[in-house]
Amino acid sequence: MRTEEKANSGWGLFKATLDAALNFVYPPVCQLCGEERAAAREGYVGGKCWTGVRFVTAPFCDRCGLPFDGDIIHPFRCENCAGVEFGFRFARSAVTANAMMLDIIHRYKYHQALWFEPFLADLLARQAKPPLAGAPWDLIVPVPLHPVKLRQRQFNQSERLARCLGRVLGLPVNARVVWRVQFTETQTRLSRPQRAANVRAAFAPRLGKELHGERVILVDDVMTTGATTSACARALRKAGAGDVCVWTVARGT
């Protein structure tokens, strides 16, 4: 059996064991409405609540991936991208960041609701795999957390989602190419210019972890203005990345 097959087989066994353990600890019920049946493999999100998911579909901005309503059939760039120099070539997201998705991601990140991970990873894989699987990408890198925040949360949600995507795409994940050198305040209450200024110097390449032209998929949980992912992408380019694209689970506005 090849190494990759062994790894996949081992992951399958681990996942089955984890599902069984979660089903033993948590009742197989939707953790959003508390009414529908939903198992661990579904991330404890039932079918009715699933209908609240809004996948990002065309038309969307060719650069930042912001979805638009209408009948636009040609590639276009939104006015939010006008005059903005992003560190990445393009960004895409799996779903829109509606109230339900933001609630799930908030509970996942800040309250260690790891039972939502299969649900979030599935959303990301469904949308990201078709365009990425046949493209020449070499490496997946998660947006890093500052060490203080990592100690507070005890895990980096972006790294966990990146590793889920890496298994689906068969690509390596490297969480040590860049690191977060500044502890920044949360972006949620800041304006677009304030967000950019807040994270402008937040990331830096790690010494001894240089890249040599690798094409990188940068993964995060939510993208709004693109300030954080853009700053991280610039650090990746300083580290030697040849190309950088961004994929996130959810897209805010």
Confidence band of 6 (pLDDT split at 50, 70, 90): very low
Cα 252 to Cα 106: distance, rounded to the nearest angstrom:
13
Give dist(CA 179, CA 204) in Å, integer: 6
Q: Which tens digit of pLDDT belongs to each residue from 30-44?
A: 999 999 999 888 899
Give the model's pLDDT for residue 74.
85
**Right CATH number for 56-251 from 1.10.10, 3.30.2010, 3.40.50, 3.90.550?**
3.40.50
Domain ranges of the chain: 15-51, 56-251
Q: Which residues pair with 142 in a beta bridge?
A: 219
* Spatial separation of the C-alpha atoms in residues 115 and 192, rounded to whole Å: 32
Average pLDDT (96-114) is: 96
Which token pair is 92? 């895409």
- Cα–Cα nearest to 233, from 89, 133, 128: 89
Q: Of 224, 230, 218, 3, give the one whose Cα is nearest residue 124.
A: 218
> How many residues in the chain?
253
The C-alpha torsion from 222 through 223 and 228 to 229, rounded to 10°, is 100
pLDDT of residue 3: 44
Residue 208 has pLDDT above 70, yes or no: yes
In this structure, what token pair is assigned to residue 65?
Answer: 């991936």
Model confidence band, residue 69 (pLDDT cutoffs 50, 70, 90): confident
Task: Please give the pLDDT value at position 28.
Answer: 87
The identity of residue 61, as a single letter, is: C
pLDDT of 110 > 80? The answer is yes
Residue found by looking up tokens 């276009």 in the block: 76
180-193 tens-digit pLDDT: 998 776 666 666 66
Average pLDDT over residues 70-81: 86
Mean pLDDT of 239-247: 98
Residues 6+ away with beta carbon under 8 Å from 136: 215
- Kindly state the helix (H) or strand (E) to which residue 233 belongs, with its residue range: helix 227-238
- State residue 174's pLDDT score: 97
Beta carbons of 191 and 221 less than 8 angstroms apart: no
pLDDT computed for residue 186 by the predictor: 66
3-state secondary structure of 70: coil
* pLDDT category of residue 199 using cuts at 50, 70 and 90: confident
